[in-house]
Amino acid sequence: MIALPNECLSEIFNNLNKGYKILFSCLLVNRQWCRNVVPILWNEPLSHTGDRRLTRIYLLLFNDEEKAPLIPLNILLPNGPKPLFEYTSH
């Protein structure tokens, strides 16, 4: 199967930017689609989710230097692997 260029996929997905359920499904098609959809979903993350999972993801992206000031404040930092994408860059 011939893959569409990223520019075409990006244009298609940007036209679906209010159809979050559809975009979430597109994440699972293949890596190319996932790489094109993630920036769209994370462009305005609070518009489609506002729960604690979002905060957890941001905290997982912190490096040790960024976490250090939070420790004396007794802020519980999540344990887990670093997320696959650098979501904050979108």
Residue 90 located in a structural domain: no
Averaged pLDDT score across all residues of the chain: 81
Residues 42 and 58 in one domain: no
- Does this model's pTM top 0.85? My answer is no
Residue 87 located in a structural domain: no
| % helix, strand, coil for the chain, step of 5 | 55, 0, 45
How far is residue 7's CA from residue 84's CA, in Å, rounded to a whole number?
Answer: 22
Residue 26 located in a structural domain: yes
The boundaries of the domain holding residue 59 are: 50-79
Residues 12 and 34 in one domain: yes
Residue 88 located in a structural domain: no
User: pLDDT below 50 — which residues of the chain?
Assistant: none
Length of the chain: 90
Q: Using only C-alpha atoms, what is the Rg of the chain? A: 16
pLDDT at 36: 92
Residues 33 and 64 in one domain: no
Indicate the SS3 state at residue 88: helix
CB crowding 5-14: b at 16 or more within 10 Å, else e: eeeebbeebe
Residue 69 located in a structural domain: yes
